[in-house]
Amino acid sequence: MNLADLTEDEQAILGAVSRFVEERVRGEILRLEQAGEYPQALVDEMKALGLFGLAVPEAFGGLGLRTTVFAAVMEVLARGWTTLAAYVNSHSTVAHAISTYGTAEQKDRFLPGLASGEHRGSLCLTEPGAGSDLQSIRGTARPDGDGYALTASKTYVTNGAKATVMLVLARHPSVADQKPHFSLFLVEKASPGVSVTTTFHKTGFDLVDTVQIEMDAVRLSPDALLGAVEGKGFPQLMEALEIGRIAIAASAVGLAANALSEAKRYAAERVAFGVTIDRHQGVQFRLADMATRLVSARLITREAARVKESGGRCDMISAMAKMQASDEALAIAHAAVVVHGGAGYIRDYTVERLHREALLYTIGEGTNDINRLVIARRMKGEGEMAYLGLLP
C-alpha cells in the first residue's frame, strides 16, 4: 500500500503511530526489557491513540480501519517494538469476531470497552492435549439451565493474564451418530471458576504474558454464545483467524524491517580492513538479499490484506502471507546478527532480541507447517487457484 492510497484520516493515524514509535517507544525498549518492567505508560498511550480499537467499528468507539490500513499500522508498530504489536494482535481478532458475528447485545456490551482498552481480549483455543488439532479439544460447554457450564483447560494463552474477556472454543456434548460440534463463547475472566494457573517463560517476548487458564464449570448465560447459534464455532474462528494471520504477517514484516535497518546502520559504522563493512562485497550481497526478502514478504502481506478487505476468500493467501513473512523475518533477523558479528550475540544490541523473537512468528497463529496444510487443501479448489494464477 502506498501512502497515496490512504485517505487523509488514514495517513494521520499511520503518522501518529509512527511518531509514537520513534519519539516514545524506541528509547525505552532496552531499559524495559532489561528491567522486566511491563510498559504500562506505553500501553496507556496506545489506548489514547485508539490502537486497541483498530478492528472495532467507529460506531462502537473504534477506529474501524480497513484491513490494508490495519496491516500497515501493525507493521509500523512492530517495527518499533514487537511486544506492543503482540498486545494488539489477538485482541483485534477477538474484536473482529464480535463485530462480525456477535449479536447486537454482545456488540454493545464488549466492543466499546475493547476499543478503549478497558477490555483486553485474548483467544483461548489450544489445550494441553490438543495443539494445532483443534477438533481434538476436550473443553466442553454442557447445558445448564437456560445457559451453559463450561469446563476447559486452555494453554499458551497470549495476553491471558491481562485479558478481561476471552473468546473460548469449546465443544458441545457428543450425540450418538452425530459429529461433534463446536461453538465460540465470550467469557469474562472475572467469572467464578476461571483461574490463571501457570505463567510460561519464553525465549522472547518476556513482557507479553503467556499463561494457562482453567475454567471449572464456569456458568455462562445464553448470551455468552457468540452469535447466539450453536455449532458455528469453527467457521467463525477460521474467518477471524484470517485477520490474525495477516496481523502476524504484518508484524513479522515490521520486525524484518527493523532488523534490516539495524544491519544497515551497523554496517555503515563498523570499520574493518580500513573501510566500513558496508563497502565489502560479502556484506553488500547479504544486505541486498535481506532487502529482497523484506519486499517480497511485505508485498504478499499487503495482497492478503487487500483480498480480505475486498471480501474475497482469504484463507489460502493469508496462510501464504503468514508463512512467507515469518520465514523471511527469521532469515532476515539471522542475517542481521551475522552482519553484526560477535556484537549480534550481545543483548545490548537490538538484533539479538529480534533474532529470538522472529522464531515465534513461525509458530504463532498456526505453525508454518499447519499453514502449508491450509494452502495444500485450498489448492484442491479452483477459486483462489485461479486468482493466484496456479491453474494450468
C-alpha cell at 367: 505453525
**Which residue, of 80, 96, 119, is where some domain finishes?**
119
Grid-cell match 478487505, residue found? 309
Same domain membership, residue 272 and residue 349: yes
- My answer on whether 129 and 113 are in the same domain is no
How many C-beta atoms lie closer than 10 Å to residue 294's C-beta?
Answer: 21
Q: Do 219 and 355 fall into the same domain? A: no
One-letter identity of residue 269: E
What's the domain count of the chain? 3
Give the C-alpha separation, 305 to 68, whole Å.
5
Residues 144 and 256 in one domain: no
pLDDT at 386 (0 to 100): 84
CA dist 392 and 328 (Å) reads 28
CA distance 360 to 326: 8
C-alpha cell at 359: 522464531
Cβ atoms of residues 344 and 337 within 8 Å: yes
For 362, the 3-state DSSP assignment is coil
Considering the domain architecture, whether residues 151 and 47 belong to the same structural domain is answered as no
Cβ neighbours, 10 Å, residue 286: 18
Tens of pLDDT, residues 222-243: 999 999 999 999 999 999 999 9
- On the 0-12 / 13-18 / 19+ scale of CB atoms within 10 A, 261 is middle
CB atoms within 10 A of CB 341: 12
The CA distance from 259 to 156, in Å, is 27
Check 127, 328, 357, 365 and give the catalytic one. 365
Residues 84 and 142 in one domain: no
Q: What is the pLDDT of residues 165-174, one digit of tens each?
A: 999 999 999 8
Residue 182 lies in a domain: yes
**CB-CB neighbours of 87 under 10 Å:** 25
CA distance 374 to 246: 14
Q: What are the helix (H) ranges across the chain?
A: 8-20, 29-35, 40-49, 67-80, 82-101, 104-116, 233-269, 281-310, 315-340, 350-361, 368-378, 383-387
CATH of the domain at 347: 1.20.140.10
Residue 369 counted as domain residue: yes
State which of 98, 119, 140 marks the end of a domain.
119
Of the candidates 187, 304, 169, which has an alpha carbon nearest to the alpha carbon of residue 231? 169
**Sign for the pseudo-dihedral over CA of 250, 298, 64, 222:** negative
| Sign of the Cα pseudo-torsion (208, 210, 215, 221, in order) | positive
- pLDDT score at 2: 62
The pLDDT value recorded for residue 390 is 86
Query: Does 392 reside within a domain?
Result: no
* CATH number of the domain where residue 23 is located: 1.10.540.10
Q: How far is CA 188 from the centre of its chain?
A: 21
Question: Domain for residue 316, yes or no?
Answer: yes
For the question of residue 10 being annotated catalytic, the response is: no
Among 167, 21, 37, CA closest to 84:
21
Enclosing domain of residue 379: 234-387
Do both 181 and 213 map to the same domain? yes
484491513: which residue's cell? Answer: 67
Q: Which residues of the chain have pLDDT under 70?
A: 1-3, 176-177
